[in-house]
């Protein structure tokens, strides 16, 4: 006779608990064994829903991309559409930087493919070639990911924790510069990078017309 916990176990419940563990302990702390213990089931019960940890992480990444809602309204012009998508990508990654280090180690999930295809379709409809549209999409991903990674690193910057005196001086100098200027990694900084990309794309579009 199955226990009540096993009767209620489904993919949604597994993913909810896995996400909670990952946010508390990171990807390294999420294991099939720790997940099974938290759900009070055997590891085999987890394997009935996900064949391994990578499959579990891919499903979590799929949910992360879907919940980020990076796709803009179709009513926007292609340039504002691209900027909106880049802002949303940055905001999602800055809020959950744990995903940045995992993106290259997991297969692109369904929602990631949807976002990529929608972006390429939008740019092709505006007059870009498939190759230009793909390069533009990759550039937006790189801009948003790099900015989110730097944002996360700067948030953790603490001169007092530096092991070498020279590192303390460099960290203090950098923090003083950030404090004396606008918040460099806020949305306006992302807008500046995206605006540069869009300006280059406009030149390409005009050259093709």
- In this prediction, residue 107 carries a pLDDT of 86
Average confidence score pLDDT of the chain: 85
pLDDT digits (tens, 9 = 90+) for 175-208: 666 665 545 545 567 888 999 999 999 999 999 8
Distance CA 30, CA 99 (A): 13
Q: Does residue 186 come out as left (phi exceeding 0), alpha (psi in the -120 to 50 range) or beta?
A: beta
Give the pLDDT score at 14. Answer: 96
77, 122 in Cβ contact below 8 A?
no
- Report residue 9 as tokens: 């176990």
The reported pLDDT for the residue numbered 97 is 85
Query: What pLDDT is stored for residue 1 in this prediction?
Result: 43
Distances (CA, A) of 10 to 38, 40, 58: 14, 13, 17
Q: What is the DSSP string of 102-155?
A: TTTTS---HHHHHHHHHHHHHHHHHT--HHHHHHHHHHHHHHHHHHHHHHHHHH
Q: What is the pLDDT of residue 165?
A: 64
Q: DSSP string covering the chain, please?
A: ---HHHHH--HHHHHHHHHHHHHHHHHHH--HHHHHHHHTS-HHHHHTT-SSHHHHHHHHHHHHHHHHT-PPPTTS-HHHHHHHHHHHHHHHHHH-GGGTTTTTTS---HHHHHHHHHHHHHHHHHT--HHHHHHHHHHHHHHHHHHHHHHHHHHT--GGG-SSHHHHHHHHHHHHHHHTSS-TTSHHHHHHHHHHHHHHHHHHHHHH-
Give the chain's residues under pLDDT 70.
1-7, 153-167, 171, 174-188
Q: What is the pLDDT of residue 182?
A: 46
């Amino acid at each position: 006779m199955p226990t009540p916990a096993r009767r209620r176990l489904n993919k949604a419940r597994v993913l909810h608990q896995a996400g909670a563990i990952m946010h508390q302990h990171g990807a390294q702390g999420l294991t099939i064994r720790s997940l099974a213990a938290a759900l009070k089931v055997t590891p085999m019960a987890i394997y009935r829903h996900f064949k391994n940890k990578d499959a579990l992480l891919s499903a979590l990444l799929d949910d992360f991309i879907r919940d980020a809602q990076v796709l803009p309204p179709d009513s926007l012009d292609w340039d504002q559409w691209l900027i909106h998508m880049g802002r949303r990508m940055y905001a999602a990654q800055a809020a959950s930087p744990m995903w940045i280090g995992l993106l290259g180690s997991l297969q692109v999930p369904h929602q990631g493919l949807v976002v990529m295809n929608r972006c390429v379709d939008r740019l092709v409809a505006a007059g870009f070639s498939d190759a230009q549209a793909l390069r533009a999409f990759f550039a937006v991903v790189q801009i948003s990911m790099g900015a989110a990674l730097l944002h996360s690193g700067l948030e953790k910057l603490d001169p007092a924790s530096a092991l070498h005196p020279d590192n303390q001086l460099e960290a203090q100098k950098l923090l003083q510069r950030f404090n004396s200027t606008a918040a460099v990694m806020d949305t306006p900084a992302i807008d500046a990078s995206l605006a540069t990309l869009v300006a280059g794309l406009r030149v390409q579009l005009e050259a093709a017309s």
